[in-house]
Amino acid sequence: LNRADGSAQFSAGNTSVVSGIYGPVEAKVYEEKLDRAVVEVKFRPDIGAPTTKDKWMESAIRNTFEREILAHLHPRTLVQIVIQLREGDGSVDSAAINATSLALVDAGIPLKCMITAATCAVLSDDTTVVDPTQEEIDAARSTHTFAFASGSSTGPLYVDSRGDFTMDEYNHCYDLCALATERVLAFMRTAIEGKVTKEAKISAA
Amino acid sequence: MASVKIVLPGDIIDTRREEDTTQQESNVEDEAAVIRLGPGLVQSSEAVSAVTAGVLHSNSETNRWWVAGNKRRYVAAVGEPVVGVVVARHGEGYRVDIGSAHDALLPHLAFEGATKRNKPNLAVGTVVYGRVVVANSVMDPEIECYNSNTGKSEGYGELSEGFMFKCSLGLARRLIDTKAPVLAALGNGVPFEVAVGVNGRVWVNAGSVATTILVANAIRNSEYLDAKQCRQMVKELLEKQ
């Protein structure tokens, strides 16, 4: 994105999400916080106008990132995260979280850690699928999305579980998602290293 | 620095170096060395962790560590040269847009040789080249258009005519180094003036509008080009003229 301070696109299967970051910019006087930056999230669906589901997603993503952005370094400012869903085929919330993580890094906004997310679905035949498609989610008995902080041994930053499930199924999904997010983190690290190396080479040349 | 270390937010940094481990037995004072953290690093309890992504740098003499990464949104820091646009006049000074979250304050008297009776009268929209004097997270930044220690303008002040455009912070830093290949290549071809602000804003003035636009385009194009490609790009632009 040309005009954004930072941007990233994250795709998993057919699901593709673009995240744009604007900030730290001046916050409106009635919105600003005196000791920290305000984090605002806008989520736009692929088709149609935003609905309450999208508003819920905005609030969920804001809660996840608000604690990890070092907002106290930029009081009285606004960090605006704009997420556009380009194509949705299940696991949209984890793709949105991953795209936003990368975009915040691109914008140079200070973060306590990288946040990576993965979605898992328990199907009617008791198998579990990571990164389910929309079809799999519609047929599943329960779906779970977890987001973890990189390098942290504390629990997940974001948990969304829907459907009927047992604690065993929940724990199994938790473990699967924890493994999946590690792989996502490795992928992000490679992507960021590629970009930084390219920039560093040009500076050194 | 043998290998380039790229860090991500959340990475714990090991600030001990190979030389330290051998010295620790012989020189006990070195064990409690003070480590100075620059941009991109914070201290979390006992450890140092990165908060932005970029290349990890360290200076062994001053024991300073920092992360160098490129971004587009400027955060003001004291002592940096910036190019700004006057957006308002107030009683105590001008409000200047330098690209940071809040506009900077430029006092009326912060110019060479300015007194209460004799001070410059800048219109809204004037481009100025200044130096950041006050910059912290809780206050609006302040700039001055002269060196307050010597009283001389040293190149700061109003920039008349010409054209100002925006670029990334990384490109701006590279341009400040006067050996920047694109500026050297352009200098061989056309006469021009340039003022580079580390806030990602560059002001260019050449003889004619066409030449000014040419210089501006050449600088913008050089973002991802290395020295050789820069020279080639400038050559092609000058030929087309």
Distances (CA, A) of B159 to B125, B152, B193: 11, 16, 10
Helix A167-204 crosses helix A92-107 at what angle (to 10 degrees)? Answer: 30
C-alpha torsion sign, points B221, B225, B227, B229? negative
H/E stretch holding A66 reads helix A52-66
Chain-chain contact of A108 with B69 (C-beta, under 8 angstroms): yes
Contacts of B106 (CB under 8 A, 6+ apart): B84, B86, B93, B94, B95, B96, B128, B130, B142, B143, B144, B145
Q: Is the peptide bond before B141 cis (omega within 30 degrees of 0)?
A: no
Chain-chain contact of A203 with B174 (C-beta, under 8 angstroms): yes
> How far apart, in whole angstroms, are the C-alpha atoms of residue B203 and residue B87?
17
Q: Where are the beta strands (DSSP E) in chain A?
A: 6-12, 15-26, 38-44, 77-87, 115-122, 128-130, 142-149, 158-163
| pLDDT on residue A153 | 72
* A104 CB burial (10 A radius; 0-12, 13-18, 19+): buried
State pTM to two decimals.
Answer: 0.88
CA of A152 to nearest chain B CA: how many angstroms apart? Answer: 9
Contacts of A150 (CB under 8 A, 6+ apart): A113, A114, A115, A116, A185, B8, B9, B10
> How far apart, in whole angstroms, are the C-alpha atoms of residue A92 and residue A84?
11
* pLDDT tens for each residue of B23-44: 444 444 444 578 888 888 998 8
DSSP string, A112-141: SS-EEEEEEEE-TTS-EEES--HHHHHH-S
Joined together, the tokens standing for residue B196 give 């580079």
| pLDDT on residue B178 | 65
CA of A25 to nearest chain B CA: how many angstroms apart? Answer: 4
Contact B84, B95 (CB under 8 A): no
- Whether B19 has a pLDDT exceeding 70, the answer reads no
Chain-chain contact of A5 with B227 (C-beta, under 8 angstroms): no
Residues of chain B found within 8 Å of residue A73, distances taken between Cβ atoms: 137
Of B110, B59, B43, B83, give the one whose Cα is nearest residue B199. B83
Closest partner residue to A74 (CB to CB) among B44, B137, B173 is B137
CA of A15 to nearest chain B CA: how many angstroms apart? Answer: 25
DSSP string, B62-126: TTEEEEE---SS----TT-EEEEEEEEE-SSEEEEE-SSSSPEEEETT-BTT--SSS---PPTT-
Residue B17 pLDDT level (bands cut at 50, 70, 90) = low
Contact B58, A119 (CB under 8 A): no
Chain-chain contact of A111 with B137 (C-beta, under 8 angstroms): no
* pLDDT tens for each residue of B123-144: 999 999 999 999 998 899 999 9
Joined together, the tokens standing for residue A176 give 């699967």
Residue type, A149: A
Full pLDDT tens readout for chain A, 205 residues: 778 999 999 999 899 999 999 989 999 989 899 999 999 999 999 888 999 999 999 999 999 999 899 999 999 999 999 999 999 898 999 999 999 999 999 999 999 999 999 999 999 888 899 999 999 999 999 999 999 998 777 789 999 999 999 999 999 999 999 999 999 999 999 999 998 888 777 666 4
- 3-state SS, residue A203: helix
Chain-chain contact of A192 with B51 (C-beta, under 8 angstroms): no
Residues of chain B found within 8 Å of residue A199, distances taken between Cβ atoms: 69-70, 170
The backbone torsions φ and ψ at residue A55, rounded to the nearest 5 degrees and listed phi first, read: -65, -40
Chain-chain contact of B226 with A205 (C-beta, under 8 angstroms): yes
* pLDDT tens for each residue of B166-221: 998 888 988 887 678 888 888 888 899 999 999 999 999 998 898 899 999 999 98
Number of helices (H) and strands (E), helices first, in chain B?
A: 5, 16
* pLDDT tens for each residue of B51-71: 999 999 888 888 889 898 888
B47 part of contact set with chain A, CB < 8 Å: no
> How far apart, in whole angstroms, are the C-alpha atoms of residue A162 and residue A143?
5
Contact B194, B183 (CB under 8 A): yes
CA of A145 to nearest chain B CA: how many angstroms apart? Answer: 22
Chain-chain contact of A25 with B71 (C-beta, under 8 angstroms): no
B88 part of contact set with chain A, CB < 8 Å: no
Of A61, A89, A71, give the one whose Cα is nearest residue A24. A71
Cβ within 8 Å of A, B 215-234: 223-227
